Chain A
Amino acid sequence: GNSVTQMEGPVTLSEEAFLTINCTYTATGYPSLFWYVQYPGEGLQLLLKATKADDKGSNKGFEATYRKETTSFHLEKGSVQVSDSAVYFCALSAQAGTALIFGKGTTLSVSS
């Protein structure tokens, strides 16, 4: 079946450090891939998405590239800020309009 595996946290970084959160998936066909972020006390927010192989999603300095050959969608940011501290979820949608399948989430803590 379809599944998402992302690196376990917590990830603790200093401000301006480089961030990578690994995400790999298993799916039949051509899923859409997402990164969601959950700030403390808030709901999940869409951070970025990619709908086909080699697409790069980007937002707020974060990037992720849909790699079909490695079934990966790693999240990166060149210079993190304290305000980036949150839980990050990788997710896939097997078909348009279907529910999302989530990874377990990775907690990021950035200190100044």
Chain B
Amino acid sequence: GAVVSQHPSRVICKSGTSVKIECRSLDFQATTMFWYRQFPKQSLMLMATSNEGSKATYEQGVEKDKFLINHASLTLSTLTVTSAHPEDSSFYICSARRGVAKNIQYFGAGTRLSVL
């Protein structure tokens, strides 16, 4: 089946630093990738939709200057948490859409971010 690789799986950083998370579709091209955030015992909440070659579309309440998304190629999207603070600590998950018609998304394993 289709594989989406997300890296790193876990990161611990100091407050004020920036963290980059990569999401790669390994065996298919993904014109659209999605970034979700999951709080403990909560559902996955969509943060933004990443489209190759264009600006990401952010959900209401998500700061685009805080969460920078770049989708420079058909197989790679990155999420950069800038000037991270403890409240940014969370589980971040990406997904890649393989074809519009089948409407199936393939998910990365997620990144656990802990900001000290």
Closest to B41 in A: A104
**Contact flags B98-116 to A (C-beta < 8 A → 1, else 0):** 0011011111111000000
Residues 47 to 101 of chain A near chain B (Cβ within 8 Å): 49, 51, 89, 93, 96-97, 99-101
The reply to whether B43 and A104 contact each other, CB–CB distance below 8 Å, is yes
Q: Name which of A36, A44, A45, A100 has the most chain B CB atoms within 10 A of its CB.
A: A44
Q: Which of A42, A89, A93, A97 contacts B44 (CB 8 A)?
A: A89
The reply to whether B103 and A102 contact each other, CB–CB distance below 8 Å, is no
Q: What distance in Å separates the Cβ of A82 from its nearest Cβ neighbour in chain B?
A: 22
From known contacts A46-B104, A93-B103, A96-B101, infer whether A102 and B110 are also in contact, taking CB-CB under 8 Å.
Answer: no
Residues 1 to 56 of chain A near chain B (Cβ within 8 Å): 4, 32, 36, 41-46, 49, 51
The reply to whether B44 and A43 contact each other, CB–CB distance below 8 Å, is no
Q: Which of A43, A45, A97 contacts B110 (CB 8 A)?
A: A43
Interface residues of B (CB under 8 A from A): 4, 6, 32, 34, 36, 41-44, 46, 49, 93, 95, 97, 100-101, 103-110
Q: Which of B100, B101, B109 contacts A43 (CB 8 A)?
A: B109
Per CB-CB distance, the 8 closest pairs between chain A and chain B, nearest first, are A43-B109, A44-B107, A97-B100, A43-B107, A102-B43, A104-B43, A102-B44, A96-B103
Q: What distance in Å separates the Cβ of B101 from its nearest Cβ neighbour in chain A?
A: 7
Q: What distance in Å separates the Cβ of A66 from its nearest Cβ neighbour in chain B?
A: 14
The reply to whether A99 and B110 contact each other, CB–CB distance below 8 Å, is no
